[in-house]
């Protein structure tokens, strides 16, 4: 069972098949993916979406939620929590992440969704901390 989060303008919930194509378009946008280490082809985007869905099962109902505008019933991206598989000195951890389609930037939507996710993490799941990771291509050159 996937946990559903709601805000005044958004619903964060389980991925549906109808979300896959708009997610691929989002993943293909050079502005959206500017700091990412990969540009997704359709097959890669679908595989990533399926891996997100599988993590909801492994993580007991939470993960990187699909985000929809309530009024328009429109998929705009994802916001949520992830247990990354990177090999970094501070692992294991839980990270917060987001990716919204460019038309939905600078409207406070990512903040609104992230606030709801953090409330869930700290108040309902009683997680001790949440981290936010830089894109890997920005981390790799740094010396620790």
What pLDDT is stored for residue 135 in this prediction? 57
Radius of gyration of the chain (CA): 15
Structural domain includes residue 45: yes
CATH code of the domain containing 13: 3.40.630.30
Q: Does residue 130 have a pLDDT over 70?
A: yes
Six-digit token string for 58? 């492994």
Q: How far apart are CA 21 and CA 36, in angstroms?
A: 19
Structural domain includes residue 127 = yes
**Other CB atoms closer than 10 Å to residue 82's CB: what's the count?**
18
- Assigned domain for 65 exists: yes
Q: Is the pLDDT of residue 144 over 90?
A: no
Residue at 144 is within a domain: no
Domain annotation covers residue 121 = yes
Give the residue numbers spanning the domain of 23.
5-139
Dihedrals phi, psi of 36, to nearest 5 degrees = -85, 160
- Read off the pLDDT of residues 41-85 as tens digits, 9 standing for 90 and up: 899 989 989 999 998 888 888 999 999 999 999 999 999 999 887
Kindly state the percentage of the chain with pLDDT values over 70: 92
What's the number of domains the chain is made of?
1
pLDDT of residue 137: 45
In a domain, 117, yes or no: yes
Least confident of 10-19, 22-31, 37-46, 121-130: 37-46
């Amino acid at each position: 069972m996937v946990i559903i989060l709601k805000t005044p303008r958004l619903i964060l919930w389980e991925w549906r098949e109808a979300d896959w194509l708009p997610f691929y378009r989002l993943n293909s946008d050079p502005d959206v993916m500017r700091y990412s280490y990969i540009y997704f082809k359709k097959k890669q985007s679908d595989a990533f979406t399926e891996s997100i869905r599988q993590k909801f099962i492994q993580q007991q109902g939470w993960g990187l939620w699909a985000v929809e505008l309530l009024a328009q019933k429109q998929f705009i991206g994802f916001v949520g929590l992830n247990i990354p598989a990177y090999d970094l000195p501070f692992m294991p951890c839980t990270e917060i992440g987001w990716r919204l389609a460019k038309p939905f930037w600078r409207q406070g939507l990512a903040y609104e969704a992230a606030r709801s996710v953090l409330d869930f993490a700290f108040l309902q799941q009683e997680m001790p901390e949440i981290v936010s990771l830089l894109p890997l291509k920005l981390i790799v050159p740094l010396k620790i």
